[in-house]
Amino acid sequence: MDIKEKLNILEELLDLEKDSLDTDTVLDEISEWDSIAVISTIAMFDSLFGKEITAREVNGFKTVKDIIDRME
Amino acid sequence: MATGIIKNVEVKGIASAVPERLVKNTDYNDVFGEENVSKFINMTGVKTRHVAYDEQCASDLCYVAAKKLMDKLNWEPSSIDALIMITQTPDYATPATACVLQHRLGLKEDCIAFDVNLGCSAYVYGIWLAAAMISTQDLERVLLLVGDTSNFGINQNDSSTAMIFGDGGSATALERSEGKEIKYFLKTKGSGYKAIMVPAGHARSRGRNLTGAFCELAMDGSEVFSFTITDVPRTINSFMSQYNINRDDVDMYVFHQANLFILKQLVRKLKIPIEKVPISIDRYGNTSGESIPVTLVDALGGDESNDRIRLFLCGFGVGLSWGGIYLEIDKSSCLPMIYTSEYFTGDDH
């Protein structure tokens, strides 16, 4: 899966327009990055990547790149 | 894993009572904004909730449910050997609400009565406790009351808790019954005790100024969520394989109605058909420990057929505490939902 595909997954999850995110985007600057987004991210890692990640880890993500790097 | 089989006991009847007052979550559009409320409803599934009147306690809802259930089963008050009340919203700091209810229901003095403090896992712990008492002690009939008025102590301006909870109270009748059995597992992960918490109100907070956030329910939704989609399905799967219970051996999976998103994730992780998973959270909200009996009564209440139904019940949350129960009951043992505005006027305090 390339970076663009990963970004698209994240855009869909956050209900954002396609190709609106890039890896440098700071999560706290996206208004859609809220408590529901954190939960959706945990579920996304579990269902698409078979990874069980903790809320603490997701809350520690600073930029879109931090999320993308875990999508492997 | 704490797990086992409790023999010679059966659930004979289940009743649930909710307050008559119905609250629509769209009524919060002015408080949180229409878009946020709509997003919340889509995520949690909660459209309406029954919310207790100011004077109405969990005990009042349990009382009404217990009265109707005892009438239906023709259980004389004198025939009940024990009453267990499980709530996080008791009538008083002390005495135990079970003692007040033993009096209000007219039960005999030769009756064991006590409270247990558990929330989302209350119903499965309660069934285990009541069943174990019958199976190992010389008891015939136990009344299990599980109820909460979780909206008590909620900050109406906190969008994560103001729109999620419904109130309700249930009564479940358990009786000695040769040849019948209940399988269970119970778990605890106290390291997550802060994930859902009301810090004030008891000894740990003495001497502190009991106002504001300290008195309100605080929930770390994301921590609870990650617990629910990892620990909970893992233990359910190991329980099912330990007792060789196949997916087809369960007619209905009744989960604690935490929120719709969590329920969908559980269904996905456990690979069970959604048709076997009744949902009540859309109309009743998250009714804490009461959500399993509310969902059972919503799905089966008033069914007069003689059929049996095999159930897997699972509660998970505050504690963190969770457990599951596999049992078989008569479909006709669930009474229709009760809507009530009754409350206790027996004391003036």
How far is the CA of B90 from the CAs of A19, B61, B80, B236, in angstroms? 53, 12, 22, 30
Average pLDDT estimate for B126-151: 96
CB contact under 8 A, A43 and B265: yes
In this complex, is the C-beta atom of A10 within 8 Å of any C-beta atom belonging to chain B? no
Contact assessment for residue B343 and residue B20, using Cβ atoms and an 8 Å cutoff: no
The pLDDT > 90 percentage for chain B reads: 81
> Who wins on pLDDT, A2 or B97?
B97
pLDDT for res B168: 98
Query: Could A52 and B226 be called an inter-chain contact, meaning their C-beta atoms sit closer than 8 Å?
Result: yes
Within an 8 Å CB–CB cutoff, is residue A32 touching chain B?
Answer: no
Average pLDDT of span B305-334 = 96
pLDDT of residue A34: 86
Q: What is the pLDDT of residues B276-299, one digit of tens each?
A: 999 999 999 999 999 999 999 999
Query: Would you list the domain boundaries of chain A?
Result: 3-70
Q: What is residue B347's predicted lDDT score, i.e. its pLDDT? A: 64
B214 pLDDT above the threshold of 80: no
Q: What's the rounded Cα separation, in Å, for the pair B336 and B296?
A: 10
For residues B220 and B238, the model is more confident at: B238
The closest CB to that of B229, out of A35, A36, A46, belongs to A46
Query: Could you tell me if B318 and B116 are in contact, meaning their C-beta atoms sit under 8 angstroms apart?
Result: no
**CATH number of the domain located at residue range(s) A3-70 in this protein:** 1.10.1200.10
Q: Judge: A55–B226 Cβ closer than 8 Å, yes or no.
A: yes
B63-96: pLDDT as tens digits? 999 999 999 999 999 999 999 999 999 999 899 9
According to the model, what pLDDT value does residue B311 have?
98
List of chain B residues whose C-beta atoms are within 8 Å of the C-beta of residue A38: 222
Instruction: Check residue B349 and give its pLDDT.
Output: 47
With CB atoms and an 8 Å threshold, state whether B229 touches A53: no
More confident position, B16 or B227: B16
| 155-174 of B, contacting A, C-beta below 8 A | 160
Q: Where are the domains of chain B?
A: 1-340
Residue B275 has a pLDDT of 95
Q: Does A48 touch chain B (CB under 8 A)?
A: no
Give the residue, B25 or B219, on which the prediction is more confident: B25
Write out pLDDT tens, residues A8-62: 999 988 888 988 899 999 999 988 898 888 888 998 998 889 898 988 899 999 9
- Please, what sign has the CA dihedral across residues B96, B100, B102, B103? positive
The class level of CATH for B1-340 reads alpha beta
Do B288 and B280 meet the contact criterion of CB atoms below 8 Å apart? no
